[in-house]
Structure 1
Amino acid sequence: MAGQIRQIFGGAAGNLVEWYDWYAYSAFALYFGPRFFPPGDDLAAALNSAAIFAVGFLMRPIGSWLLGAWADRRGRKSALTLSVAMMCSGSLLIAVAPTYDQVGLLAPAILLFARLVQGLSVGGEYGASATFMSEVARAKWRGFLASFQYVTLVGGQLLALALLVLLQAQMDDAALKAWGWRIPFVVGALCAVLVFWLRTGLVETEAFAQAQANKPPGSLLSRLLAHPRELLIVLALTAGGSLWFYTFTTYMQKYLVLSAGWTKQEATSASAIALLVYMLMQPVFGAASDLLGRRTLLLGFGVGATLATVPALTALGQARPDGSGLLLLIGCLAILSCYTAISGVVKAEMFPAHVRALGVGLPYALGVAIFGGSAEYVALAFKDAGQESGFFWYVTVMAGVALVAALALPDTRANSRIETD
């Protein structure tokens, strides 16, 4: 049991740093955005920053293919170590990048390149870490233990927001815009070096070793395409789930500022509190899936998200910075937890070990790149066009797609490929 905990901790700690580095960009975009683009209004700078955030997601399918294939051929440990090294380099590049005033259009080009490197890293991280943590967890508590992937994913976002709150308290707005925004990227790069060392001490999973001994013939692509139904289910679940996730986590901070009229500090504080509660929800919902089944929770998300999107976003757009707005946001994150707590494990249980990392990572990365990663940009574009409510209905439709996928999914708790390989 102690060895299993060490393995889970090793995978989770790396996941925490990976996602901290990824979300630091979004958390501090309101401050560094104007430094990388020609002078203009705040909405234009937010749109430009969101566009690069979205473009970074386009690299995630490539990263999921490269590192997913690496994980299925060379091992989960090797892929996890490589992904955190790539994230370190991307964060360090942003930390030292020159601004538009210094080098002109080269500044956004450097920012874009760094974000593409981070996109490759995160694209490979999800599938490899979901596979690793699901394979080392015992079947009885797999939903609970694997939920710590999203505990650390949300924890990374929360740490980025916590650092933002701290810097907002210690520095004035001008200093944050001038140079303070570089601090979180320096911190991320240093933490990634520490995690690189930590991940070199992980032990490869038994499932990978068995898969290498019993690998079926054919190329990796042909073996992956032998599971079209599973690939489509993962893609559809991710399309709705990731869009909801990025709407109510990453974009929410900007939505509360630009639409509800909150100050940056009020929006950051509310987001941080809501994310802390949300993070603590993950093991609870993960344990519930061990008792009730994975499909039950996914159906709960599909129904709840489809019905709640429009009224919830409408109410949040009119909410005041008091307890009522915060409680509403936490309620939305509770619905989301039915998906995120078991997102990794339910996908890992659908695929055989010889294509598990790639089967989990590739359709997930495609769904996130198309729908989740573009959430901020699409929302801001609707707002810029004066049709903000159109975004609410778009999110509703995609939640319905996730519901259809959940209806087509057998309960993987009772039919896990991790045990039947």
Structure 2
Amino acid sequence: MTAIPATVRATAAPSTRRTLVSTGIGNAAEWYDWAIYATFAPYFSKQLFNPADPTSAILSTLAIFAVGFVARPFGGVVFGWVGDRFGRKNAMTLTVAMAAVGSLLIGVAPTFAAVGAFASLLLLVARLIQGLAHGGELPSSQTYLAEMAPREKRGFWATLIYFSGTLGNMAGALLGAVLAFSLPKAEMAAWGWRVPFILGALMGLYGLVMRARMPETEAFEELKTEKQGFGALMKEVVACRKQAFQVIGMTVGLTVIYYVWAIVAPTYAATSLKLDPGQALWSGFAANVVFLVALPFWGKLSDRIGRKPVLIIGAVGCAVLHFPMTWLLHDSVWQLFVSMSVMLVFIAAGASIAPAVYAELFPAKVRTAGVGIPYALAVAAFGGTAPYLQTLFTDVVKQPWMFNAYAVVLILVSIVVVLGLPETKGKDLRA
């Protein structure tokens, strides 16, 4: 069962706790899926692709990883419509079920030696299913959570999205470290890599049962006379294009800087800066604990002083400190821990309340699709390409400052967009 911030848990009634856990478990499962795919790709690439060409096998595996990002915007469209037409709860239940199916397919996939190219095709199908599910998971869950939260605590409740997601990511990385330490390489290659995917499927099954028991939100229930078909909903999304561009503008800086410091930094330190991979992993793990602590602080602060001040503080902090923290990071794990921790404290300001802000920008009848489509496009175009661009400018072009400048420019774009947002703290989401 996924954890929730202790201060939220302590003040929540039993039914509310079930709602929080049900929401968090699916979100954690999504992030867990992405973490284990990246962690175990070197093992299953030789099992599901032609092992005679290991380089081609790993490149093909990573290409299919990227396919998951490409599928996310389509998931945002499909499940955005499902969430706004048939209910937030139904969309969330379907996304966690599909993600579990994708994990199970990978976990039980036959090898290339047994069935040839069909093994590779099955991996592609599984990632497409997961990409669609993940593209619908975040907008559905964050819309549900925002509508269920007391308006005076919505910023605080919104921290569950990144809190649970980070726990899922950390669990995937930790499981990778434990299995790599416990099993010989031959056994890891033969069957050990299947374990995390089967566990992911079981986690999704648990989330499916939990979500099937959740109530629907009051905001959606009041839309019974306004539920609309797919074409009509897309027209409503177009009508809300200003808010959609605001979601993209808010997201571009946050998604790039988050992927750089929360996800990629340990790998970058190990591959480009030649730190010990194991020590880099544990340093990154510790820094993400700092991130978890910071999230509820910013969420509660936004409920007191407003969303815009917190978003601006976080973004300005990231823009000002990004270059100094990259200069600090050279050749030791303490440098990695300090630089990651400092950046993640400020990244947490935006990450903690972005789900609440997204939901507060849109009317109820188009809230899931209105958030899901532009958000998925921004993450696919900017977050999904961040690791590639960072490696390209560092190891090929030999000008890492160019990528860092690119990241800071995107943060500045987000600051400008936030300055133009209305203050939405305490907004009634039933309208």
Query: TM-score w.r.t. structure 2 length?
Result: 0.90
- Asked if the contact 1:246/1:375 (under 8 Å) is kept, the reply is yes
Secondary structure of the structure 1 residue equivalent to 2:343: helix
Once the two structures are superposed, what CA deviation does each residue of 1:53-75 show, in whole Å capped at 9, x if it has no partner?
22211111110111110010100
Q: Percent identity?
A: 36
Question: Are the counterparts in 1 of residues 68 and 131 from structure 2 also a CA contact under 8 Å?
Answer: yes
Matched, 1:201 2:227: no
Counterpart residue number, 1:219: 232
Q: Secondary structure of the equivalent of 1:225?
A: helix
- Superposed displacement of residue 20, structure 1: 1.5
CA contact (8 A) 2:284 2:336 kept: no
The structure-2 alpha-carbon separation of the partners of 1:134 and 1:14, relative to structure 1 and needing over 3 Å to count, comes to same
Query: Unaligned 5+ residue runs, structure 2?
Result: 1-11
Q: Secondary structure at the match of 2:193?
A: helix
1:26-45 paired onto structure 2 within 5 Å: 26-37=38-49
Alpha-carbon shift at residue 36 of structure 1 (Å): 4.6
Provide closer, same or farther for how the CA distance between residues 346 and 307 of structure 1 changes in structure 2, counting only shifts above 3 A: same
2:272 and 2:111 mapped to 1: Cα distance?
A: 28
8 A Cα contact 1:50 1:376, kept in partner: no
| Matching residue within 305, 320, 336 for 1:307 | 320
Is 1:58 paired with 2:70?
yes
Distance in structure 1 (CA, Å) of the matches to 2:374 and 2:297:
26
| CA deviation after TM superposition for structure 1 residue 216, in Å | 8.7
What is the match of residue 278 of structure 1? 291
| Distance in 1 (alpha carbons) for counterparts of 2:325 and 2:250 | 21
In the other structure, the counterpart of 1:133 is 145
Matched, 1:86 2:107: no
Larger mean CA deviation between 219-228 and 9-18 belongs to 9-18
Aligned to 1:391: 403
CA drift at 1:23: 2.2
Question: Would the alpha carbon gap of residues 64 and 252 (structure 1) be closer, same or farther in structure 2, given more than 3 Å must change?
Answer: same
- Partner of residue 353, structure 1: 364
Deviation per residue, 1:228-260 (Å, 9 max, x gap): 221101011112111111122222232121012
Counterpart in the other structure of 1:149: 161
Could you say which residue in structure 2 is the equivalent of 1:124?
136
Contact 1:294 1:412 in 2 (8 A): yes
Indicate the residue corresponding to 1:288 in structure 2: 301
**Is structure 2 residue 413 aligned with structure 1 residue 401?**
yes
- Residue 166 (1) aligns with residue 185 (2): no
Match of 2:252 in 1: 239
What is the TM-score with the length of structure 1 in the denominator?
0.92
**Residue in structure 1 matching 2:342, options 331, 339, 348:** 331
Q: Which amino acid aligns with 1:222?
A: K
Q: Write the distance in 1 (CA, Å) between the matches of 2:317 and 2:139.
A: 26
8 Å contact from structure 1 (residues 8, 136) kept in 2 = no
Tell me how far 1:152 sits from its aligned partner: 0.6
Against the structure 1 CA distance between its residues 266 and 413, is the aligned structure 2 distance closer, same or farther, given a 3 Å change threshold?
same
Paired position in structure 2 for 1:12: 24
Q: Supply the distance in 2 between the matched residues of 1:96 and 1:394 (Cα, whole angstroms).
A: 41
Q: Deviations over 1:336-379 (max 9, x none)?
A: 10111011111001111101111111111010011112222222
| Structure 2 Cα separation of the partners of residues 319 and 42 of structure 1 | 30
1:134-189 per-residue CA deviation (whole Å, 9 max, x = no partner) reads 00000111111121111111111011112112213312344334432221101001
* Matches of 1:388 and 1:115, distance apart in 2: 33
Give the partner amino acid of 1:25.
Y
- Give me the whole-angstrom Cα distance separating, in 1, the residues matched to 2:417 and 2:300: 22
- Classify 1:247/1:29 alpha carbon distance in 2 versus 1 (closer, same or farther; 3 Å): farther
Using the TM superposition, give the Cα deviation of residue 310 of structure 1 relative to its aligned residue in structure 2, in angstroms. 3.1
Query: Partner amino acid for 1:339?
Result: G
Give a deviation string over 1:48-106, Cα, whole Å, max 9, x none.
54433222111111101111100101001111110011001111111123445555554
Determine the C-alpha separation between the residues in 1 that align with 2:159 and 2:269.
Answer: 28
CA distance in 1, matches of 2:32, 2:168: 4
Structure 1 counterpart of 2:164, one-letter code: T
Pick aligned residue for 2:127 from 112, 115, 128: 115
Write the distance in 1 (CA, Å) between the matches of 2:262 and 2:66.
Answer: 15
Residues 1:304 and 1:29: Cα distance change in structure 2 (over 3 Å): farther
Q: Is the 8 A contact 1:4 1:137 kept in 2?
A: no
| Bigger mean CA offset, 6-15 vs 196-205 | 6-15
Sort the Cα spacing of 1:319 and 1:213 in 2 relative to 1 into closer, same or farther, 3 A. farther
| TM-aligned CA deviation for residue 409 of structure 1 | 1.2
Q: Distance in 2 between matches of 1:145 and 1:44?
A: 44
Change (3 A) 1:175 1:249: farther
2:277 aligns with 264
Distance 1:67 1:102, change over 3 A: same
* In structure 1, distance between residues paired with 2:141 and 2:223: 17
Alpha carbon RMSD of aligned pairs, Å?
2.4
Structure 1 residues 21 and 404: CA distance shift in structure 2, 3 A: same
Q: How many residues align?
A: 417
Alignment-mate amino acid for residue 243 of structure 1: V
Q: Which runs of 5+ in 1 are unaligned?
A: none
Cα-to-partner distance string for 1:265-299 (whole Å, 9 max, x where unaligned): 22221222222221232111111111121111211
**Equivalent in the alignment of 1:229:** 242
Instruction: State which drifts further: 381-390 or 177-186.
Output: 381-390
- 8 Å CA contact 1:212–1:354 kept in 2: the answer is no
Amino acid at match of 1:64: G
Match of 2:379 among 368, 391, 405: 368
Give the residue type in structure 2 aligned to 1:403: I
The secondary structure found in structure 2 opposite 1:203 is coil
Contact 2:393 2:403 in 1 (8 A): yes
- 1: CA distance, partners of 2:111 / 2:326: 35
